[in-house]
Structure 1
Amino acid sequence: MPTWTPWKTIPLATPFTEQTLAETLNGGQAFRWNYLETKSCWQGIWGQHVARIRFSDKGGIEVSTPSSHPETEPSLASYLRADFDWAAAMDKLPWRSDSHLQKALQAYPGLRILKQPFPEAVLCFLCSATKQIPQIKVMCERMAENLGTEILPGIHALPTWEQLAAASEEQLRSLGLGFRAKNIKKTADLLASHPELLSQIEASPYSEAKPMLVSLPGVGEKIADCALLFGAAKLEAFPVDTWIIKVLEKRYALFGWSPSQLSQFGRVHYGPLAGFAQQFIFSYERQHPA
């Protein structure tokens, strides 16, 4: 069995609350975090890393990582964007003129946007079409177990796009991906031929990155915005799903608007941190539906 480092406090420019730690890790940004009841902590996997996180009584978070992977702790700080001043970012949002946003911000102090590996974010959100969070987590776990590299005994990374390209569509379907298998396989084959493409997209400005990403098989506007927001740190991306449509209809009276129009509204109304605002109203709506 692997040994884990002693629990250690990780410094954060903006602290979590216990609620917002759970919402950040398990609220639809990422799909490989699970709460371990027996150990009273969260365990998550990204890239070739595994870590455990728990909320401390002092208001911070503590982490434990495999002793054999000393590089995991600094990677986790980057993944959590620990140095970013999320409180200052919250204050830049238009809460002073938007009472609903103000309520959402007050309900989730410390909520943040993760910085996941971009290729993984693209894969996970390709799995998200017509699925809810628990179902997406199952699909990701099956792909990892069957196609990904083992990090620790019994714990596997998500497959790389190269590993996915080596699999057949039938293999992917056997993992419960359904119609998504076809698009994942097509995208994997395309990326195998153009291995630099995702890096180019991630490095591009949002206005250029989104059309490039949407050109991949199965990647629509919502999937692209999710991947760009949660995997490429493009905080102006404003994903529009059924929850956001409900919010903008009920709270902002934007009835009959198309998803692309609502996405444009979000970027204009909330400004350059629109995706950050989106996460608050998304989280708030799921807990406080109108």
Structure 2
Amino acid sequence: MDYKTIESFKEGIIIKEVSNFDPVHIFECGQCFRWDKEENGNYIGVAFDRVIEVEKKGENVVIYNSTEEDFKNIWEDYFDLKRDYGKIKLELGKDPLLQKAVKFGHGIRILRQDPFEITISFIISANNRIPMIKRAIKKISSKWGKIIEYKGKTYYGFPKIEDLKDVSMEEIQDCGVGFRAKYIKDSVDKMYDCLNLSRSTAVVDNLTNIEEKNSEKFNLNYIKSCDDDLCHINLQNFSGIGPKVADCIMLFSMQKYSAFPVDVWVKRAMQHFYLAPDVSLKKIREFGRNKFGDLSGFAQQYLFYYARENNIKVE
């Protein structure tokens, strides 16, 4: 566990003696889109229909607008605070090449985010820039998500599957997602149909094997329960989800830490540290998973953050 204890105060909670936690590293390493840095250096984010503000104060982390109950039920898991990242960094740091990236992003933690939100968010992320991704997610949330107030401002939770089931492709497109609107609409429809079919299987005994399998095919809870390789395959049944996006969903919301998403920055980092410049994305993914094993996802985050922040280029 990477903290000692928690204390309540009027405006929230204090997590005492937190290790391996830097808000800049966590919220700027490409894994989330609902966190924004404030003028005072704090980060305000929306997750699980809550708004919280995070401040690092020496060895402590302050979470404003939270209770001890919310911390135990939501934020302890969300920030993966039960895991000892010191052990992960020690193991990955044995590789002299990776050691530099681990030290640079020493405060990274992989968030445990909501699978539906992350699935839609990373469909939006394909061939897209972070400001545009964040803007689109914010528009979708403001139209169909739960209203949340904090410090006189209005925020919005990410909508549920049921909230989007009757939304048209044109309405989704109006949120600035471009050609990805059809992928989002198709994915929501399949998830909702699957959800209804899953409920039916609970009360109807004479469904065929095909119907039972279809009730799981687009069920994110079922996909999350699969082993890592099958999870990766099943996610790609959704429109607009290829290997890289599937890896992101697995890593950032399904706790599949053998995932190794390869984007332009990871490709540059792997070429810079390990491989020849002409290696394909598929081969880089295979190389990363073989080299880092069950810690591949953690290695990927350190490499991504190091490469992007240092603007690594390959000659």
Q: Same fold (TM over 0.5)?
A: yes
Contact 2:25 2:107 in 1 (8 A): no
1:245 aligns with 2:267: yes
For 2:48 and 2:254, locate their aligned partners in 1 and report how far apart those are by CA, in whole Å: 14
Q: Counterpart of 1:6?
A: 11
Same amino acid, percent of matched pairs: 29
Amino acid of the structure 1 residue aligned with 2:299: A
Amino acid of the structure 2 residue aligned with 1:53: V
For 1:102 and 1:120, locate their aligned partners in 2 and report how far apart those are by CA, in whole Å: 32
SS of equivalent residue, structure 1 residue 127? helix
Shift of 1:40: 4.2
SS of equivalent residue, structure 1 residue 224? helix
Amino acid of the structure 1 residue aligned with 2:89: M
Residues 197-276 of structure 1: matches in 2 within 5 Å? 197-276=219-298
Rg bigger for which structure?
2
1:101 aligns with 2:98: yes
Q: Which deviations, in whole Å up to 9, do the C-alpha atoms of 1:96-152 show, x marking residues without a partner? A: 2x3220111111223111111111111111110111222211111111001212133
Residues 61-76 of structure 1: matches in 2 within 5 Å? 61-65=61-65, 71-74=69-72, 75-76=74-75
Aligned pair in 2 of structure 1 residues 120, 5: CA closer, same or farther (>3 Å)? farther
Structure 2 gaps, min length 5: 1-8, 199-218
Q: Counterpart of 1:24?
A: 26
Contact 1:147 1:164 in 2 (8 A): yes
For 1:206 and 1:128, locate their aligned partners in 2 and report how far apart those are by CA, in whole Å: 22
RMSD of the TM alignment (CA)? 1.9
Amino acid of the structure 2 residue aligned with 1:90: K
Residues 1-290 of structure 1: matches in 2 within 5 Å? 5-11=10-16, 14-16=19-21, 20-37=22-39, 40-56=41-57, 58-65=58-65, 71-74=69-72, 75-93=74-92, 95-96=93-94, 98-152=95-149, 154-195=154-195, 197-288=219-310, 289-290=312-313
Q: For this pair of structures, how many residues does the alignment match?
A: 278
SS of equivalent residue, structure 2 residue 125? coil
For 2:296 and 2:279, locate their aligned partners in 1 and report how far apart those are by CA, in whole Å: 18
Per the normalisation by structure 1, the TM-score is 0.90
For 2:130 and 2:26, locate their aligned partners in 1 and report how far apart those are by CA, in whole Å: 13
For 2:282 and 2:105, locate their aligned partners in 1 and report how far apart those are by CA, in whole Å: 27
Shift of 1:210: 0.8
Amino acid of the structure 2 residue aligned with 1:181: A
Per the normalisation by structure 2, the TM-score is 0.83
For 1:5 and 1:221, locate their aligned partners in 2 and report how far apart those are by CA, in whole Å: 45
Contact 1:124 1:140 in 2 (8 A): yes
Structure 1 gaps, min length 5: none
Runs of 4+ deviating beyond 6 Å: none
